[in-house]
Chain A
Amino acid sequence: MFTIEQAEWLAPKVRRLVVRAPRVSSHHKPGHFVIVRVHEGGERIPLTIADSDAASGTITLIVQIVGATTERLCSLSAGDSIANVAGPLGRPTEIENFGHAVLVGGGVGTAVIFPQAAKLREVGNRVTAVIGGRSREYVILEKELSSHCNHVYPCTDDGSYGYHGFVTAKLKEVIEECGDVGVVLTAGPVPMMRAVAGVTRPLGIKTIVSLNPIMVDGTGMCGGCRVTVAGEMKFACVDGPEFDAHTVDFAELTDRLTTYREQEALAWNRLHELTERSDASASRCKMREMEDAAASR
């Protein structure tokens, strides 16, 4: 069992969990993920490691509620535990001095770029972060990123905070204004990553994307996470999860992510029926309160 040491809402439906996993934290590098199984009978899901502290033996996971499993995970608090955490998995981010590195994070994707920012800065890059959310309360990790980046540009779709518009528009501005961007690293919803690739492809700027396909074991055994990159089949868990954004088949990835939509809806309904029937409804209300509190910040 893996104990949760801290838990807090960062944004509506987005929770930060600090989990005791010393074997993972001592080997974590940017780009790595873990496979988490929340409880007995639960499914295995991949989550990027947002941060780690080898001294205290903890890793940080930033989780958005998108279905039954992530909802269960986000309902946990400090002192609760997670059944299984395996990792670190995947290939780490290739860190080198590109001159000027621009990191583009959308929603919880910002958790992926956070550890990359620190390492890229360490090896001498000028680091700019462009982070987006629907509105102000969905922009996460701005303060944390500020300590590793030369500039952080928050963007909101509705203009409630920072730059009014999509991250891709801000990215274009940064590229044009600076003229020295050596690499772009991006993580977030698939349409956003695809759009980022669309911005940098004509400019020939090296762009690395962190993909989030469906996984089971996370060690190369099942092949469920296969993606097409430069016309070749790759397994995101062992060949990635980071790939050259300009050669990823995003349409296929988008489609494969919908494979279990029906079952996911069933699981979601079941969890909510259970929650409403049981005494847990009280804690569920508490969770809503906490979400609302996070939203109003």
Chain B
Amino acid sequence: MPTMKPSERMKIPRQAMPERHAAERAVCFQEVNCGYPPDAAATEANRCLQCKDAKCIGGCPVGVNIPAFVEAIAANDLSAAADILLADNVLPGITGRVCPQEKQCEALCVRAKKGTPVGVGYLERFVADWAREHRKDLFEPPAATGKRVAVVGSGPGGLTCAGELAKRGHAVTVFEALHIPGGVLVYGIPEFRLPKAIVHAEVESLRRRGVEIVTDVVIGQTYTIHELLGVEGFDSVFIANGAGLPIFQGIPGENLKGVYSANEFLTRVNLMGAYRFGETDTPIIKASETVVCGGGNTAMDAVRTARRLGGDPATLAYRRSREEMPARAEEVKHAEEEGVVFRFLCSPLEVLGDEKGWVRGVRCIQMELGEPDASGRRRPVPVPGSEFEIPCQVFIQAIGTKANPLLTQTTPGLNTNKWGNIIVDADHMTSIPGVFAGGDIVRGGATVILAMGDGKSAAAAMDRYLGNGSGDAAST
């Protein structure tokens, strides 16, 4: 295949992601993005300039060799592309869909300087989906080391760590508190953004690699960490039990019927299938008007879910302005297209109830941006006398979570910071030798890919701890 000149590559416009029509998707839970057709993927791959000093790799928390897998797509060798991708990322079908690429790999793409970056996320998803459809697992089990590792939590951090440890020949058991594995990937992120079938396929692929996944086990309650290391006979433990308790604002009316945490709302809909109530048994309040408070990805997931349950309008109230929103850019765009109403510089003061204890609205105050705060973002300050009401029957708090105490309070010797998050060293090891931790329980609320990055580097450190030399994974 003749090599394309950089000038020719520069002329190719970024290939658009085919999407389900906004009007259709505002009322259904089917995935919004439909994935590149093969020709669009090849065209997009040719936009990559194949930089010698590829900055994009440094933007990836798991260090995917981006130019190499993109080049393989351009050469139409999808099998090679899959090998390259899977060597660094055990869950590419997931990250291709949920990573904030515009803040990571794509932000560092040289083409972003004068135009649009290469669609790394879209291409990653393309390869992952192709591999899931077309490739048999060619996995050959590595020689067993005889070491047993327990992984606490089957979210992105736990699954990644489990996969990396299995590659190195350790016997891995993942303990999941809920009834199906996946953590935030199944209870939090909605079907329309990450189909559950993809998560299940990734989990099954780990099972075929010999990872044992045990559901219905709440570490800290069913077993303590010390029991895992003691009577249960594990040589090392990775704690990735996730974020935990939802934060409420502490405003009046938060216990009215119709107030949810985003966690509860999303868990009912995603994990329990409440949007199919009738086929499933878990109920959800369907409101004609819903207000979600927050500006992150969870808030965006909640408001778009509310829209699909019939929220008209489904309103997002965020106390800062659009520029400060931490949500992924594509989600904001999709939400707007679907008819979500954005109220910026708007802070709820009180949830209003009717005489029967149901939510009837939320009283808010207009904010304006003042001096920058500790986060570097301009601090929102209330405008006196600017209170107003937004009518709604469901009000959802999506303003973050705090550390879950279940595990830490039953683990003497495990050091935590003042917020209850586990303290780890550069190798992700906690104050208890052999016990490692990563993801939200350490970071206090981050992203899928950062948890995966922790899982990956912790696995290498655990491998060294277990006496397996270099910590390099066997190539698969």
A residues with a Cβ closer than 8 A to B are: 23-24, 27, 37, 41-44, 68-69, 83-89, 216-217, 219-224, 226, 228, 233, 235, 238, 252, 255-256, 258-260, 263-264, 266-267, 270
Contact = CB atoms under 8 A, between A and B. Distances in A.
B310 to A, nearest CB: 15
A238 B179 contact: no
A27 B221 contact: yes
Contact of B406 (A41, A216, A219, A224): A219
Q: Please give me the 4 A-B residue pairs with the lowest Cβ-Cβ distance, nearest first.
A: A263-B283, A222-B264, A86-B216, A84-B179
A216 to B, nearest CB: 5
A258 B264 contact: no
B177 A86 contact: yes
B150 to A, nearest CB: 13
Interface in B413-455: none
A182 B451 CA distance: 49
Given A216-B272, A221-B244, 12 more contacts: A23-B223, A41-B279, A41-B280, A43-B272, A43-B283, A83-B179, A86-B216, A216-B268, A226-B248, A233-B248, A233-B254, A256-B257
Interface string B255-277: 10100110110011000110001
B476 interface: no
Contact of B222 (A24, A217, A256, A260): A24
Contacts of B222: 23-24, 27, 86-88
A243 to B, nearest CB: 15
Nearest to A252: B255
Interface in B268-310: 268, 272-273, 277-283, 285
The listed residue with most B CB atoms (<10 A of its CB), out of A87, A216, A233, is A216
Contacts of A252: 255
A117 B357 CA distance: 37
B281 A220 contact: no
B406 A263 contact: no
B405 interface: yes
Interface string B356-380: 0100000000000000000000000
Interface in B344-365: 357
B223 A222 contact: no
A217 B281 contact: no
Contacts of B260: 224
Contacts of A266: 277-278
Contacts of B221: 27, 87-89, 219
Contact of A217 (B178, B254, B257, B277): B178
**Binding site of B, secondary structure by majority: helix, strand, loop or mixed?**
loop
A215 to B, nearest CB: 10
Contacts of A263: 277, 283
B261 A222 contact: yes
Interface of B: 177-179, 187, 215-218, 221-223, 242, 244-246, 248, 250, 254-255, 257, 260-261, 263-264, 267-268, 272-273, 277-283, 285, 357, 404-406
B218 A89 contact: yes
Nearest to B255: A252
A223 B248 contact: yes
A163 B266 CA distance: 48
Contacts of A223: 245-246, 248, 261, 263-264
Contacts of A235: 245
Contacts of B285: 259-260
A222 B257 contact: no
A226 B259 CA distance: 11
B281 A69 contact: yes
Contacts of A41: 273, 279-281
Nearest to B353: A255
A270 B283 CA distance: 14
Contacts of A256: 255, 257, 357
A260 B264 CA distance: 14
A46 to B, nearest CB: 13
Given A43-B281, A44-B179, A219 B246 contact: no
B245 A221 contact: yes
A86 B261 CA distance: 22
16 contacts: A27-B221, A27-B222, A37-B179, A43-B281, A86-B179, A87-B221, A216-B264, A217-B177, A219-B406, A222-B263, A222-B264, A226-B255, A255-B257, A259-B285, A264-B283, A267-B283
A85 B218 CA distance: 11
B264 A219 contact: no
Nearest to A41: B280
Contacts of A233: 248, 250, 254-255
A27 B255 CA distance: 33
A228 B253 CA distance: 12
Contacts of B404: 219-221, 238
A69 B281 CA distance: 8
A59 to B, nearest CB: 12
A148 B185 CA distance: 47
A216 B187 CA distance: 11
A84 B245 contact: no
A138 B3 CA distance: 83
A222 B267 contact: yes
Given A84-B215, A233-B254, A259-B257, A220 B264 contact: no
A58 B282 CA distance: 27
Nearest to B268: A216
Given A88-B221, A238-B405, A221 B263 contact: yes
A260 B283 contact: yes
Contacts of B405: 220, 238
Contacts of B267: 216-217, 221-222
